[in-house]
Amino acid sequence: MVKKVDVLIIGLGPAGGAAAVAAAREGLSVLVIDRRKEVGLPVQCAEFIPLPMGKYAQSEGVIFQRITGMKSLLPSGAVEETEFPGLMIDRAAFDQALANEAARNGAVLQLESRLVRLDAAESRAWIKTALAEEEIEYRVLIAADGPHSTVAESLGLPELDIVHTRQYTVPLKQAYEDTDIWLSDAFPGGYGWLFPKGKFANLGLGADKHFTADLKTPLDALHSQLVAEGRVGEEISYRTGGAIPVGGLREQLVVGNIMLTGDAAGLTHPITGAGISAGVVSGERAGQAAAAWLNGQDKKAFADFEEDIRDQFETTLKRAVERRQWLNQHWKSEEAQKDAMHRKGWIAFPEYFSV
């Protein structure tokens, strides 16, 4: 039998969770599916959110500690200290809190369920579970299925440019409230990071696979360096990584009655890789647009969603894409050994914002 829902949401990360809360609050029938066994797990994140996102992190056990500043380390050894107010969260708990809120508002959450096929013209989706394949008829579909979006692929939209990451969780020897960022030709197309999380720290890096496929050697070297400096311990309690879309906003965020959100929409910042905030904001906005379209008969609701998201994010993302393209011409050259290139390519420096 074909299941019918008002809103089908693919993916239960920050974008899908926020979309489900917003749509369910408006009284729509909402089904969210995710291929994972447990919401938010395994964690693939450095777990930093900017301060304004704190309102979505109020459930018990979500916030770990605050962050006040950023230290950006340049190849010469120079360090730039800037304000960087934010919070370190338990990312799984953050995603779970959003999912629980969606369920409290009446959304149905279905895990271990994967979107395998979409007929956008007929508003039908096929979901594979452990037991069977289900057919679902939706009125609105929200794609919140991350960097390798099956929805986008089914719609024939182009694949997003990706940066690969690798991260270790290690013991932190002293309490710390800054995040450290290493800018270096050793991490071409990305950077190294340390985000303190209570007695631990997430130590990781990203790099563009066009320049290097090996993330382990530079991450092990960074880890050894910090062990030698007495800042972190040797033991690695958790290893993770994942893909970060870095190509900027998709050309289309709406296709018929389908809206794309979060990483699936290319909303992740192409220089910093941050995407939780944009995921939540775009998801919430998509949920509201679904309600305006279905309840309020607002014919412009989808166009308004796209316009709002572009207004909020496009300028920032465009600059980041331009910087990325410029940096890509210089990695693995003399320029990449100098501070000047990194100053122009990283958000902490005024040069990043100059024309």
The residue ranges that bind ligand FAD (CB under 6 A) are: 10-16, 33-36, 44-49, 114-115, 144-146, 150, 165, 167, 204, 241-242, 244, 262-264, 268, 273-277, 279
Instruction: Please provide residue 291's backbone torsions phi and psi, each rounded to the nearest 5 degrees.
Output: -65, -40
**Residue ranges of E strands in 74-176:** 79-89, 108-110, 114-119, 124-128, 133-143, 162-171
How many Cβ atoms are within 10 Å of 308's Cβ, its own excluded? 17
* Nearer of residues 283 and 341 to ligand FAD, judged by Cβ: 283
Least Å from the CB of residue 355 to ligand FAD:
27
In this structure, what token pair is assigned to residue 5?
């829902």
Q: Looking at beta carbons, which residue is closest to ligand FAD?
A: 275
* Nearer of residues 127 and 341 to ligand FAD, judged by Cβ: 127
Least Å from the CB of residue 215 to ligand FAD:
10
Residue-wise DSSP of 187-240: STTS-EEEEEETTEEEEEEEE-TTT-S--HHHHHHHHHHHHHTTSB-S---EEE
* Nearer of residues 258 and 341 to ligand FAD, judged by Cβ: 258
CA proximity to 116, closest of 135, 144, 131, 99: 135
Least Å from the CB of residue 69 to ligand FAD:
16
* Nearer of residues 181 and 291 to ligand FAD, judged by Cβ: 181
CA proximity to 252, closest of 131, 155, 146: 155
Least Å from the CB of residue 22 to ligand FAD:
14
Say which residue the tokens 């895990």 belong to. Answer: 111
Least Å from the CB of residue 354 to ligand FAD:
25
* Nearer of residues 34 and 330 to ligand FAD, judged by Cβ: 34
Least Å from the CB of residue 351 to ligand FAD:
24
Strand order in the sheet with 79-89: 48-50, 79-89, 63-73, 178-182, 192-197, 200-207, 162-171, 238-245
* Nearer of residues 193 and 349 to ligand FAD, judged by Cβ: 193
In this structure, what token pair is assigned to residue 214?
């090996």
Least Å from the CB of residue 267 to ligand FAD:
7
* Nearer of residues 194 and 336 to ligand FAD, judged by Cβ: 194
